[in-house]
Structures are given as structure tokens and as C-alpha cells.
């Protein structure tokens, strides 16, 4: 394992110290329990938005704390859900009196820890709503399993809900928007290589030199299918078709197309992927009216990408365009 | 009376469980690597080390409040140090056992069995798993039921705990052929069959160490009495 | 080789098509000769800033085209300098009547091609100045060799000169600023793994599982020393000490600290590196007053990082803070 | 007169050089992999394919303008298709040879030798390399000097070209022990010694193919004449 870290067990905490040292002007980092809040929190009268999850997906979530996006992020150990006390303390630190929205990715651990946090927060008289994101079409949705995983749509939901909160929309409305984003977004990813968890010290899964994992999860969870290495054209076709057919997206739809790098894939390749995606969607009468290209929800050093499509209407488009000022996503300010 | 659960017995049990988890850390992680994300051993070890640190730490004992308070402290500690799926599940388990145990410093077998049943209910409430979903419930539920049944049949504490541990072992092994329907392993679908569930395995350690420690402070039993 | 591309020989062109499809609102992409210009070029009365170099370093330079930074970027083949006709055509497309500044990284090919471009441009009556960036302390500077390579300082120079040009500073002044940035900046990088050039199909250099290349170049050029894998602490010490001692930076200096990822290294690790750098500089009495952390001048999929320090004064700080609106770097607008 | 350089001869030379580069593409790239960035073969091949496409393409020949115009077209084509260090260097070489050749459609050996010398000066002006910097100059300079010397001594074209090619070969081989002081190989410092310079090698192909083709259209020489 080759990583720019010291002891594996210290990597998350030391990265947080780095964030604290780098961005004291925009965020405050609290250690024990670990959370990151925007420097001006709590913002009076604004719904506070809190998210979190295992570390290893940077810039998500810590890099999305700031004006127009998250009020707080709770980083767990690498690929391990954070604990309720983190979420509770973070929620308390950012509650501006208008309630708190928890945006939760659909993994058993995340869901349960956030649930406990909400119970604790409600016991203390806080108003908390939770929305679970589950946009990964690689996993079959079913009442009898853990259900679809939460991936790329999380980034879009955090941005859009953050914008609505800045406009002082009430908690129920912001939570409703979050559900709307989730309902209109679908994703799928592909791994060219495995990630390596620092504490594990070796690749999470073994992939042949000529193999890819279609439908991989952001923790290296298995996907739909192991395949022979293919061209960008064929890989995009497989991912995009699965995504488009699931919602389904149809002719006349306007979408935000999000091409996400998994951490070890350079931008050059993401633009090749975007070019292919653009062509495929055009062929299906779907027009991309907004896009996001880069490594925003990563899986440590995994090579690969994911494609997320979000069906846009005027409301979502306007909220996407609204100013945001975080270290990971910034415009309009 | 053929044995009572004491606060010292519970503390001894927690220490023994922590030790068993530490010893089986790599094994639990290996089981999790096969159908999960290879962290169950380190998660549980981190949590139980913290638990031992608290119950044996400088501020230990000052709290008072009987078995219930002790177990609530354990539950809170696990909730705030483990994370993932196991943190809320084991945390809820101990919180609910502690709630049922109340302020007493000693519990009869029947009271203890009822407390365990409450713990299992807590796990199911939290995780929504039923039998045969291939989770820790497959170990905990039959074990709690065996304990209650033994209590109802008038068995002594040591014997009842042995029966519970045996039921736990059986439940754990029964997870091997199952297809996971809850937790991370469910993403594997049919590929999860053929592997023993890691959480069911750590739960077996919990029941096994109970059998070894919880009745230790109690007067020796006359077999068949 | 595992890459999200189609045919290796088409990767650069297809990535450019992706850029064109994605960012038509902010840039125009010209194919044959290849260059990217800001959508509103030429900007009347403003010094135009043109840069370029081999591809494979994205977001540099194409991702830095836009308000407050570059007017045009000329992408060559992967790791191969672009040709004079690209630079000439790009310069013509963005010349707003106030002259053109070429920012050139110090590689023999880049320097000669830009020189020829300048001759051609001057033949056509254009006013062109060139500044060569050579900040890589891994290479000994000498009149008798190709000299130090141009690396991280290029990004900083493009941002700062871009801001000055927006303020309508004259060509000589903008070029002077570029030289000032170069004179006050030093860099060094480390590779944990080699990059793989698409056309070559295999890693450029071989590095043992427990080896790193200290002082590596952004094309995988050899560095100062091959070493055993070390902790982030020790690696940062080696890089930062070489950088600090070269200028040298001293107590009381205010610096911009730029921790750059090489393409295959996740953000989590870059923050660990930043934390170590922060501590080291503090210990030497050097205070970081600005920072930039992320993958901005990359080397395809190489794992590793580089550290660039730029000594700041009020002028450079103000220009760094000025608004910039590119796909790679954006704030204030 | 013992041979003249004709426009057809020059075209044949360029085709032969392109062919030699294509054939040695992997070899040149391998040499560059050792002390550079493994692209000299593909760079030169891309450029020379483009050159052949232009001089034999549909619009070829319509340009007119003699040897000078032809070689300037070659130079411009290389400049705009090769990139890297070799693009401007070979581009400048041909541009300068073309400039010196002027509008004539035939050149005497002396004129041709002078043109080559101008080309080498162009390379040096552009790249600032001197002899023994371990670059193409180590091949080109002795070759041009040999050609001039042969011309001055009254040698015939074919013989003069042979002598130039021999000098080129010697210059190329002499790069092996040198420590590079220019170009990408200079980053290697002492580690560049022991490797033959790729640019010096492609330049040898240039002189070698000249000896094979440039005198072909000229009347057969009487050895020693
Ligand atoms: N919904 C659930 N109900 C009961 N137990 C569960 C549930 N989901 C997961 N588990 C248990 O948790 C164990 C995994 O714990 P752990 O590896 O620590 O957490 P994570 O899955 O978050 O990495 C599984 O082996 C299983 O026994
Ligand atoms: N300054 C220079 N003067 C003359 N020749 C040079 C100079 N720099 C490099 N070269 C020649 O160029 C060759 C490398 O060409 P090439 O690999 O195509 O370009 P690059 O080095 O940009 O990849 C070297 O082998 C050397 O002969
Ligand atoms: Mg986990
Ligand atoms: Mg696990
Ligand atoms: Mg090159
Ligand atoms: Mg080369």
C-alpha cells in the first residue's frame, strides 16, 4: 500500500487537522466528536443541513460545508458510518432555530446511526427531518433488502437543499426538495481498479488487468457484473443505459449530467466520458442543461467513474445555479 | 435459588467479551471481508476496548445505579465509538438490556432472561431484521429464547446460560447457507450464501463468554437440581 | 493499461470534444489547430494571456481559461509540446489590442515552439512577450543544461497575471509580474507510482512496491533520489526542506502554500500532507497566508504530490484574491 | 560537373527518410525511452507521414518555387505536426536549408553543402546546443562539414554524400558516452551516459538516406574523377 499518510489509524484525524489548518476562514473543525461546521454557524432562522458518512469520499462531505450547501459534515472512520454523538453535536452546533435536515446515504450503518442521532436530537427538543438518498441503480431496490445505495445524487441534493435553505425555505420544504432530487436522480459507477483502505493495507477486491467492475459501490462493494475492459464508449453506454432506463429518462427531458471521478482517474478521462455521455443522451432526445465534471464523491484511490443524471425543472435548475461557497464547489460568490 | 446475575458478574462478562473480540479480531474481519467491508473485527474491538476503559477507568464505580446503569454506559460507549451497523445495533442491545434490568444490583435468571429478550427486541426494532436475514439476530434471538425457556423450566443459571450459548452457536452456524437480506452483505445477493455472518459470530462470542462468566459468582449448582 | 478512453491516439481530441460539449457557455474549442479560448475573446484593451503544453496535466491549462486567468490554452499531444501554429492561431484569436503574454513552462520543446510562435506572431505585427517558468528545485539550475523544469508555479502565475490583465495593466507590467511570481516560487514533487502514457500503454518508469521517486517531474522525469516509501511526515520534510532552502524562504515570510495532487492521489491524503506542511513551516517561522489544495497540475494517473511555495507581498496577495471564473479555479464571481 | 541535386532527388530523399523513420520508429522511441520520454519515434513518424502526404498529395507540385519552396513546405509541416523538441529543430533545419537553396530547381554540390550548413546553423540558433551536448547537432554538424570539405576538395556528389553519411554515423556513435547537457536527457545528468541520443540517430537516418537517394538522378560518376 502506497499512501501519503502516517499511521493508517491516524489518517482521518490528521486529514481533519489539515482541513482545520487550511480553511479556518470558512469552517471550524471539532475533534472528539469529529465534525466540521461552517465558520458562521449557526445561521439564525435558516434550516441547517447536516450530512456525513464514512471518510474516503472527499471532497464529500467536509468539502461541501459552507454558504449555500452544508452547515455541518460528520466524517466517520474510512468507509465507516459516523456515530450518533457526532451528528447530535454537529446538529446542536448549527441549529439556527429553523430545524435541521439530515441527508443520509442509504447504507445500513449510516441510516441507523442517523436515526439514533435524530432520536437524541428530538429528545432535546430539536426539530429534525431525515431524507435517505438511494440512487444507485446497480443494486436492485427491494423492501426486503438494504435497498439501493446512496451515491452521486447526494452531492446534488446537498447543493440544491443548501440553496433552498439560504432562501429561508422552511424545513418541510427543504426536506421535500431533497426527496424530489432523490426521486429524479439515478446513478451507476464503474471501477477500473480497487480502492485500498488504509487500515486494511491491501486492495478491497481483486480485479484482473483486463477486468472492470460495472456497478461498483463507493466502498468497493460488488456491482452488477464483472466484465472485460472496454472502450470509454462501451462503458458509458452500459452505465448510461442502466441509468436512463431505470427512472426512466425520456425524450424531452432536461438533465443535469454529473460525471464523477472515483479518486484515481484523471480529468482528461472524465472529459472523454462526458463527450460519450453527451452524444448518447443527445441520441435519446435528452438534453443536458447543466453539468458537473470532476472527482466529488470518491472511493479513496479507486480508478473509475460514475454517472449521475438528475431530471431538472425550473425550480431545481434555479437552486443549482444559486451561489455556493465551499472548498469543493464554488460559484456565484 | 440456583444463581443470580450480579453487577460484578456482568462486569466480568464484559471484560471477557472484550478479550474474546480482541482475540478474534482478525477472524471477524476476515468473515466481514468475504461478504461485507472487512471492518467488523476492528469496529467491535475499538468499541469493546473503549467499554473496558470506561468500566475499569478512573471514574468507574462512582456512577452507581446498578446493573442497568452499567449496561447503559456500555451501550452509550458502543454507540459513540463503533459506528457502522454494529455500533447502533450492539449499542441498542445493551441500552435495552440495561433499561430492562433497572436499578437492581442483582437479577434472578428470569429477570435476566427478560432483559435479554428486551435487548433482542431493541436490535430488531433498530435494524428491522427478522430470523434468517443472515444477521446477528440469527444468533441473539434463539439464545434469548433458550434462556427464557430454561428459566421457565426451572433450570439453574449456569445451565441456562449454557443452553443459551448452545442455541447461539447453532444460530450462528445456521447463517452459513443463508442469502443475506439485510446490511452490506445483501448487495451480494446469492453470492452471500456459503459464508458465516460476522455479526452473528461476534454475538456468539457474547453468549459464549456469558456462559463462562455470568454464573461464576453464583453458588455451585447441583446438576439436575 | 486501464483507462477510460477509446483509441489512445484519439484521447486528447476526444477529451477536447468533451470540454467543448460541457463548457460551451464559457469557452470555445477549436480543433485543427487545437486551442481553447474564453467565450468572450478577444477582450478589447486587455492583455491576452496564452499558455499551453503537453496534455495530461489537466485541469492545467484548458481548465484555467476564463475570466481572471487565461485567454487561451494550447493543448499538445500527451506530454508533447504543442506546435507554433496552435499558439499563433490562439494568440490571434484572443489578441485584444493590448498585446499577448505567453506563459511557457521550461521544457526544451515548449520553449522552442513558443519561441517560433512568437516570431511568427511578431512577423504579423502582434506584440508578444514570453515568460518562462522554472520553479522545480529537483533539477539543478545551470546555464549549461536545459535548466529547472516549470511546474506548480505555472498555475499561480496564470492566476496572478490573469488578475492583473483584468485590471487592464499593460503588457510589460503583466510580464513583469509573471517573472516576479517565478522568482519567488519554488516547487518539488514526489511520485508514489508512475504515470502511464496512453500511447505507450505501460508505466513510464518502474518503481518498486516500497519505493518512491523524490523530485519527480510532471512527465515522469527522474528526480533527485529514489527512496524507500516513507511516512507523509518524512516525505513532506524532504520536499518542503528542499523548497524552503532553495529560494530560501525565511522567518517572517508570508507564503501561498500549494499542495498539488499528481492525478491518482485522493484529497484525503493531500490534506494530511497540508497538515504536515503547515506544521513544518510554522516551525520555521514562515506563515501560510493563502493556500491551494487539490489536483491542479497533474501527471495523468500518477500517485503523488508536489509542494509549491510562493512568497507573497500585498500586491501578489491582492491579485491572488481577485475574482476568477474558470472550470478549474473559481471564486469571487 | 559530377552531379547536381535536383528537385526530384530531394523529393525522393524525403520519401526515403520518411520510410526509414517509419521502419525505425520503435527503435527511435526505445532510445528515447532510455533517456527521454519515449516519443521521438512517434513524433518523427507523425511528422514525416504528414510531409509525404503533402509533397505527394493532390495539391503537390502546383506550388512550384523550386527546391527552396519544397523544403520550406517540409519545414512548416514538421513545425506544425511534430511538437516537442524535434518539431522546431527539424522544422528550422529544413526551413533554413530551403531558404539557402532559394528558387533554383537544381543545386551544385557546393550550393547544397552551403545550404546544409545553413540548416545546421538554424538548429543551433534554435536549440543553442554545441558539439558534445549529446544532441542531433553531434550528427548534423560533422556531416555538413564533411560535405563542404568534400565539395572543396572537388569530390563528386555521390562520394561527398557518402562521406557526409560516414561523418554522421561517427557523430551519432560519439554521443553514446556523453553526458547530456541539452533537452530532456539533461535531467538525467550522469545517468544519460552510455545511451545513444535518439535525435542524433534520426539525423543519421537523414544523412544516410541522402547518400542513397540524392545522387541517384545524377549521371554516374567515374570513381576518382
Ligand atoms: N439490519 C440489520 N439488523 C441486524 N443486524 C445487522 C443488520 N445489518 C447488519 N447487521 C449485522 O452487522 C454486521 C456487520 O457489522 P459491521 O461490519 O461492524 O458494520 P458495517 O456493515 O457497517 O461495516 C453484519 O454481519 C450483521 O450481523
Ligand atoms: N537544445 C537542443 N538542441 C538540439 N537538439 C536537441 C535539443 N534538445 C533536444 N534535442 C534533440 O531532440 C531529441 C528529442 O526529440 P523528441 O523526443 O522528439 O522531443 P522531446 O524531447 O520534446 O520529447 C533529442 O534526442 C536531441 O537529439
Ligand atoms: Mg463498515
Ligand atoms: Mg463491516
Ligand atoms: Mg516529448
Ligand atoms: Mg522525446
pLDDT digits (tens, 9 = 90+) for A19-40: 999 999 999 999 999 999 999 9
User: Is residue B218, in this structure, part of any structural domain at all?
Assistant: no
User: Is residue D107, in this structure, part of any structural domain at all?
Assistant: yes
Predicted confidence band of residue D61 (pLDDT cuts 50, 70, 90): low
CA D109 remoteness from chain centre: 16
**Residue B23 reports pLDDT greater than 90:** yes
Backbone angles phi, psi at B60, to 5 degrees: -70, 155
**Residue D59 reports pLDDT greater than 80:** no
Question: Mean pLDDT: which of B57-61, D138-142, D191-195 is highest?
Answer: D138-142
pLDDT for position C224: 82
* List of chain A residues with pLDDT < 50: none
Q: By residue range, what is the domain housing residue D56?
A: 4-213
> How many other β-carbons are positioned within 10 Å of the β-carbon of residue B53?
14
Cβ(C307)–Cβ(C277) under 8 Å? yes
CATH code for the domain defined by C10-183: 3.40.50.10440
Q: Greatest CA span in chain D, whole angstroms? A: 50
Q: Taking Cα atoms as reference points, which of A171, A185, A160, A189 lies closest to residue A64?
A: A160
pLDDT digits (tens, 9 = 90+) for D21-33: 999 999 999 999 8
CA distance C120 to chain A (A): 30
Cell of C302: 500518477
Cell of D70: 519544397
The partner residues of D4 in beta bridges, in order of sequence, read D108
Cα–Cα distance between D89 and D85 in angstroms, integer? 6
Collect all residues with Cβ–Cβ distance below 8 Å to C223 and sequence separation of at least 6: C138, C189, C190, C191, C213, C214, C215, C216, C217
The CATH number covering residue B109 comes to 1.25.40.340
Cα–Cα distance between A54 and B83 in angstroms, integer? 9
Cα–Cα distance between C74 and C61 in angstroms, integer? 8
Residues with Cβ within 5 Å of ion ligand 5?
C 80; D 37, 39, 84
CA distance C81 to chain D (A): 5
Cα–Cα distance between A168 and A44 in angstroms, integer? 10
Cis ω for the linkage preceding A42 (within 30 of 0): yes
Of B127, B180, B186, the CB nearest to A112: B127
To test ligand 1's pocket by mutation, which of B181, B185, B199 has the most ligand atoms within 8 angstroms of CB?
Answer: B199
Cell of A333: 460568490
Q: How far is CA D203 from CA B123, D172, D184, in A?
A: 78, 8, 17
Helices (H), chain A: 11-22, 84-94, 108-123, 153-166, 171-183, 232-246, 267-283, 314-321
Cα–Cα distance between A126 and A213 in angstroms, integer? 43
pLDDT for position B58: 72
User: Is residue B222, in this structure, part of any structural domain at all?
Assistant: no
Active-site residue flag, C23: no
Compute, in angstroms, the gap from residue B29 CA to the centroid of ligand 4.
Answer: 8
E strand or H helix at A51: strand A48-55
Helix pair C153-166, C314-321: axis angle to 10 deg: 80
Cα–Cα distance between A115 and C100 in angstroms, integer? 59
All partners of chain A with 3 or more CB pairs under 8 angstroms: B, C
User: Is residue B220, in this structure, part of any structural domain at all?
Assistant: no
Q: Do chains C and B touch (3 or more CB pairs under 8 A)?
A: no
Q: Tell if the CB–CB gap between A303 and C269 is shorter than 8 Å.
A: no
Nearest CA to ligand 1 atom 22: B84
Cα–Cα distance between A112 and A104 in angstroms, integer? 10
Cβ(C82)–Cβ(C113) under 8 Å? yes
CATH code for the domain defined by A185-322: 3.30.1180.20
Cα–Cα distance between B201 and C260 in angstroms, integer? 44
Question: Is the shortest distance between the CB of D103 and ligand 2 below 6 Å?
Answer: no
Say if B26 is an interface residue toward chain A (CB within 8 Å).
no
Cα–Cα distance between C134 and C111 in angstroms, integer? 11
Task: Return the higher-pLDDT residue of B114 and C201.
Answer: B114
**Residue B219 reports pLDDT greater than 50:** no
Cα–Cα distance between C303 and A4 in angstroms, integer? 9
Cα–Cα distance between D90 and D43 in angstroms, integer? 11
pLDDT for position A146: 85
pLDDT for position C60: 98
> D-chain residues within 8 Å CB-CB of C139?
187
Of B83, B183, B189, the CB nearest to A77: B83
> How many other β-carbons are positioned within 10 Å of the β-carbon of residue B15?
17
Cα–Cα distance between B57 and B77 in angstroms, integer? 13
Cell of A80: 465507516
The partner residues of C52 in beta bridges, in order of sequence, read C74
The partner residues of C136 in beta bridges, in order of sequence, read C187
- SS3 of chain C: the string is CCCCCCCHHHHHHHHHHHHHHHCCCCEEEECCCCEEEECCCCCCCCCEEEEEEEECCCCCCHHHECECCECEEEEEEECCCCCHHHHHHHHHHHCCCCCEEEEEECCHHHHHHHHHHHHHHHHCCCCEEEEEECCECCCCCCCCCCCCCCCCHHHHHHHHHHHHHHCCCCHHHHHHHHHHHHHCEEEEEEECCCCECCCCCCECCCCCCCEEEECCCCCCCCCCEEEECCCHHHHHHHHHHHHHHHCCCCCCCEEEEEEEECCCCCHHHHHHHHHHHHHHHHHCCCEEEEEEEECCCCCCCCCEEEEEEEECCHHHHHHHHCCEECCCCEECC
> How many other β-carbons are positioned within 10 Å of the β-carbon of residue A100?
27
The partner residues of A211 in beta bridges, in order of sequence, read A228
Chain B contact probe: residue of A11, A54, A146, A147 with most B CBs at under 10 A: A146
Cα–Cα distance between B97 and A2 in angstroms, integer? 45
* Full pLDDT tens readout for chain C, 333 residues: 999 999 999 999 999 999 999 999 999 999 999 999 999 999 999 999 999 999 999 999 999 999 999 999 999 999 999 999 999 999 999 999 999 999 999 999 999 999 999 999 999 999 999 999 999 999 877 767 788 999 999 999 999 999 999 999 999 999 999 999 999 999 999 999 999 999 888 898 889 999 999 999 999 988 888 999 999 999 999 999 999 999 999 999 999 999 999 999 999 999 999 999 999 999 999 999 999 999 999 999 999 999 999 999 999 999 999 999 999 999 999
CA-derived radius of gyration, chain B: 17
Measured over the CA atoms of residue D182, residue D185, residue D187 and residue D190, the dihedral's sign is negative
pLDDT for position B37: 86
Domains in chain B, number: 1
**Residue B85 reports pLDDT greater than 80:** yes
pLDDT for position B2: 59
Q: How far is CA C51 from CA A181, C86, C101, in A?
A: 40, 11, 8
pLDDT for position A221: 86
Collect all residues with Cβ–Cβ distance below 8 Å to C92 and sequence separation of at least 6: C121, C124, C126
Cis ω for the linkage preceding C138 (within 30 of 0): no
- SS3 of B109-146: the string is HHHHHHHHHHHHHHHHHHHCCCCCCCCCHHHHHHHHHH
Burial class (CB in 10 A: 0-12, 13-18, 19+), D103: exposed
Q: Is D89 helix (H, G, I), strand (E, B) or coil?
A: helix
Pairing type for strands C35-38 and C48-55 reads unpaired
Q: Taking Cα atoms as reference points, which of A6, A8, A4 lies closest to residue A201?
A: A8
Catalytic residue chosen out of the listed positions C23, C61, C102, C219: C219
Compute, in angstroms, the gap from residue B122 CA to the centroid of ligand 4.
Answer: 20
Q: How far is CA C131 from CA B101, C118, C182, in A?
A: 78, 11, 9
**Residue D62 reports pLDDT greater than 70:** no
The residue ranges of every structural domain in chain C are: 10-183, 185-322
pLDDT for position C278: 98
Q: Taking Cα atoms as reference points, which of B215, B205, B220 lies closest to residue B31?
A: B205
Q: Is A212 helix (H, G, I), strand (E, B) or coil?
A: strand
Cβ(C81)–Cβ(C44) under 8 Å? no
Q: Tell if the CB–CB gap between A268 and C11 is shorter than 8 Å.
A: yes
Amino acid at each position: 500500500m502506497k499512501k501519503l499518510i502516517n499511521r493508517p489509524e491516524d489518517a482521518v484525524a490528521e486529514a481533519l487537522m489539515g482541513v482545520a489548518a487550511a480553511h479556518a476562514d470558512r469552517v471550524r473543525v471539532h475533534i472528539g466528536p469529529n465534525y466540521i461546521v461552517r465558520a458562521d454557524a449557526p445561521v439564525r432562522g435558516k434550516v441547517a443541513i447536516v450530512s456525513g458518512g464514512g471518510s474516503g469520499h472527499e471532497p464529500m462531505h467536509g468539502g461541501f460545508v459552507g454558504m449555500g450547501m452544508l452547515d455541518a459534515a460528520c466524517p466517520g472512520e474510512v468507509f465507516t458510518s459516523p456515530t450518533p454523538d457526532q451528528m447530535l453535536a454537529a446538529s446542536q452546533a448549527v441549529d439556527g432555530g429553523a430545524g435541521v435536515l439530515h441527508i443520509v446515504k442509504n447504507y445500513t450503518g449510516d441510516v441507523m446511526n442517523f436515526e439514533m442521532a435524530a432520536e437524541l436530537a428530538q429528545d432535546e427538543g430539536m426539530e429534525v427531518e431525515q431524507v435517505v438518498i438511494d440512487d444507485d441503480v446497480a443494486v436492485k431496490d427491494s423492501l426486503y433488502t438494504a435497498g439501493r445505495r446512496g451515491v452521486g445524487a447526494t452531492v446534488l441534493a446537498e447543493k440544491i437543499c443548501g440553496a433552498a435553505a439560504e432562501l429561508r425555505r422552511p424545513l418541510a420544504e427543504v426536506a421535500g426538495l431533497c426527496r424530489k432530487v432523490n426521486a429524479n436522480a439515478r446513478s451507476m459507477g464503474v471501477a477500473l481498479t480497487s480502492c485500498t483502505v488504509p487500515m486494511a493495507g491491501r486492495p478491497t477486491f481483486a480485479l484482473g488487468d483486463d477486468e472492470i467492475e460495472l456497478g461498483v459501490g463507493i466502498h468497493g462493494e460488488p456491482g452488477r457484473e464483472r466484465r472485460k475492459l472496454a472502450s470509454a464508449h462501451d462503458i458509458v453506454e452500459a452505465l448510461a443505459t442502466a441509468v436512463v432506463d431505470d427512472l426512466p429518462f425520456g425524450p424531452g427531458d432536461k438533465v443535469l449530467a454529473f460525471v464523477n471521478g472515483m479518486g484515481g482517474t484523471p480529468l482528461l478521462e472524465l472529459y472523454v466520458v462526458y463527450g460519450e455521455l453527451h452524444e448518447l443522451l443527445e441520441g435519446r432526445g435528452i438534453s443536458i442543461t447543466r453539468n458537473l465534471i470532476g472527482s466529488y464523491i470518491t472511493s479513496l484511490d479507486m480508478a473509475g467513474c460514475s454517472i449521475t443524471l438528475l431530471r431538472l425543472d425550473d425550480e431545481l435548475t434555479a437552486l443549482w445555479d444559486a451561489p455556493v461557497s465551499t472548498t469543493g464547489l464554488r460559484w456565484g460568490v | 435459588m440456583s444463581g443470580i446475575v450480579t453487577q460484578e458478574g456482568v462486569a466480568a462478562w464484559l471484560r471477557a467479551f472484550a478479550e474474546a473480540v480482541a482475540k478474534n479480531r482478525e477472524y471477524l474481519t476476515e468473515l466481514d471481508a468475504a461478504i461485507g467491508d472487512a471492518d467488523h473485527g476492528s469496529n467491535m474491538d475499538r468499541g469493546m476496548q473503549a467499554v473496558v476503559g470506561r468500566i475499569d477507568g478512573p471514574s468507574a464505580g462512582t456512577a452507581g445505579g446498578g446493573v442497568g446503569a452499567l449496561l447503559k454506559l456500555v451501550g452509550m460507549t458502543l454507540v459513540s465509538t463503533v459506528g457502522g451497523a454494529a455500533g447502533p445495533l450492539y449499542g441498542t442491545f445493551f441500552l435495552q438490556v440495561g433499561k430492562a434490568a433497572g436499578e437492581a444490583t442483582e437479577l434472578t435468571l428470569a429477570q435476566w432472561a427478560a432483559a435479554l429478550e428486551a435487548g433482542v427486541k431493541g436490535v430488531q426494532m433498530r435494524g428491522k431484521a427478522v430470523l434468517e436475514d443472515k444477521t446477528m439476530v440469527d444468533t441473539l434471538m434463539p439464545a434469548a429464547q433458550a434462556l427464557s425457556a430454561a428459566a421457565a423450566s426451572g433450570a439453574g443459571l449456569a445451565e441456562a446460560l449454557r443452553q443459551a450459548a448452545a442455541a447461539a452457536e447453532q444460530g450462528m452456524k445456521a447463517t452459513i447457507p443463508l442469502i443475506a437480506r439485510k446490511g452490506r452483505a445483501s448487495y451480494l445477493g446469492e453470492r452471500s450464501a456459503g459464508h458465516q455472518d460476522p455479526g452473528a459470530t461476534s454475538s456468539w462470542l457474547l453468549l459464549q463468554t456469558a456462559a463462562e462468566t455470568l454464573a461464576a459468582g453464583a453458588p455451585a449448582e447441583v446438576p439436575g437440581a
